[in-house]
Amino acid sequence: MPIPPILEIYVVWHPLDKQGASVARRIFGHFHSGPYAGLAGGAIEVYFRSAGWESSTSSPRPIPGVHGDTASGQVAQTLVVVPVLSAALRRAVAGEPTWHEYLRDIYGLPAERGRLVIPVRDELVDLTGSALEALTDMPQSVILRGTTQLAREIAQAIADKAYGLKDRPTKIFISHTREKGSEDEANQEIVSEIRLVLSETHLEDFFDAADLRPGDANWRARLKDEASRTALLMVRTDAYSSRKWTQQEVLAAKYHDMPVVALYSITEGETRGSYLLDHVPTAISQPGDRREGLRRALDKLVDDTLKVAVWRKQCEFLADLGLDWLPAHPPETLTMIRWLNENPADDQPIWVMHPDPPLTQPEQECLRELCQIAGRKGSVEFLTPRTYVARGGSFDDQT
C-alpha cells in the first residue's frame, strides 16, 4: 500500500539543550500514539535534527525540502519544522556560521500551506537583541508549560495552517443542554468552567446561547451547519441524552464525519441513554477537578481534527485500491444507514476502510445484517490499514 508521505515533523534543537531533547521525545511519542497510530503507515513521521553533521559543533544534517537535500526521498505534502529556542541555540547562531545559515533557511520557508515553522520556547529564555531573535521575527512561539499543552498547540497549529482556514483557530462546537430545576445551577457551572478553560487556549468556540441572537429565524439551520463543520464537544450531563436538539447536533457532526468527544459530567444518572450518542471517545469531568477532564477532552478533539485531515489526504491515494467507503471514523449503525441511502443497492461486494482500531466481530456482524436488510446481496468487509496489510494487501477472501 505505497502512499507518499503526508506529514513530516522535524524537531531541531542544540545538542547542549537537554530540554530540547525532552521536547523532541514528547513530540515523537505523541504523534506515534493515540489516534495517529490508526492511520495508514507513514502518514505522520517525526525526525530529529541536533547532532553536528560536519563536525561536533556544526549544524545538524540538512532537512529535505528546506536545505535542498531531497536525496532521502520524496518530500512530504506538509513539512513542519519545530525549532526549540534555547540559550544554547542562541549562542550557536551567534558564534557558528553553519548554525546561523541552518536557522536562516528554516525561517526562510515560504509562508504557505504545506511549509510551516512552529517554534517552541521556554518562557525563561531571553532572545532580546540576539542574532536568533533577528531570524525568528515571524511565527509566534509555543511556550513550554505542560506535556499535553505542547502536543495540543503543535497539533492545532498544523491543523489550522496546513489543513484548515488560514490564520483561523480550530473551532469547537459546545453541545450542551440547559437542565430544568435544581440541575440547572450545576450545569451552568460546568459550562462556565468550559468557557474559562477555552479562554486559556487558542481554540475558538461556538456556544448556542452566546452565538445565536434572539429572534434569529434560522437558528435551527445555524446549529446544524455549525455542528456539521466543526469539532464537537458533547457535554453529557444528566438530561443531555434525552434532548432532541443535542441529538440533532451530534447527528450532524457524525453524518459529516467530524470529530466528536463526549465529556461525561453526570451526577444523578440518566433516565435513559441514546444509541445516537455513543461510539465516540470520552473524557470524565470529576466534580473536584473539572478542568483536567475538560483539557483531556480538548486534547482528544484537536488530535482527532488533525487525524481526520491527514486521513482525508491519504484517502486520495487509498481510493485507488477500489474501496467503496473511506470514513475517518469507524462505521456505526447510523452512519452505515446514511451511506446505504446515498449508494444504490447492487450485488457487488462492499469494501470499507477506516483508521484503526478495527471494529469488533459483533459490531461487524450487526452492520452486515443491516446491509442485507437494505438489499445488499454482496459481501461486506470492514478493513483498517493494519488489517489490510495483515491479509497481504489483498481483497481476496481469507479463510
Q: Domain-by-domain residue ranges, the chain? A: 7-163, 171-312, 322-390
Structure pTM?
Answer: 0.89
Instruction: List, for residues 72-124, the tens digit of each pLDDT value.
Output: 556 788 999 999 999 999 999 999 999 999 999 998 887 666 788 999 988 88
Q: Considering the domain 171-312, what is its CATH architecture?
A: 3-Layer(aba) Sandwich (3.40)
**Rounded Cα distance, 287 and 297, in Å:** 15
Three cell numbers written together for 356: 484503526
Q: What is the mean pLDDT of residues 258-285?
A: 90
- Residues 265, 297 contacting (CB under 8 angstroms): no
Q: Which amino acid makes up residue 339?
A: W
User: Is domain 7-163 given the CATH code 3.40.630 in the classification?
Assistant: no
Three cell numbers at 182? Answer: 435544581
User: Mapped to the 3 state alphabet, what secondary structure does 82-110 carry?
Assistant: EEEECHHHHHHHHHCHHHHHHHHHHHCCC
Q: Where on the phi/psi map is residue 222: left (φ > 0), alpha (ψ -120 to 50), or beta? A: alpha
Asked whether the predicted pLDDT for residue 210 surpasses 50, the reply is: no
Dump pLDDT digits (tens) for 27-39. Answer: 999 999 888 989 9
Whether 7-163 and 171-312 share one fold: the answer is yes
Average pLDDT, the chain: 85
| Inter-residue contact 239 to 268 (CB < 8 Å) | no
Q: Are 37 and 355 in contact (CB under 8 A)?
A: no
Exposure on the CB side of residue 33, measured as CA atoms within 13 A: 9
| Phi, psi at 262, each rounded to 5° | -100, 125
Grid cell 451511506 is found at 339
- How confident is the model at residue 85, as a pLDDT? 93
Nearest CA-CA partner of 92 in 144, 47, 136, 132: 132
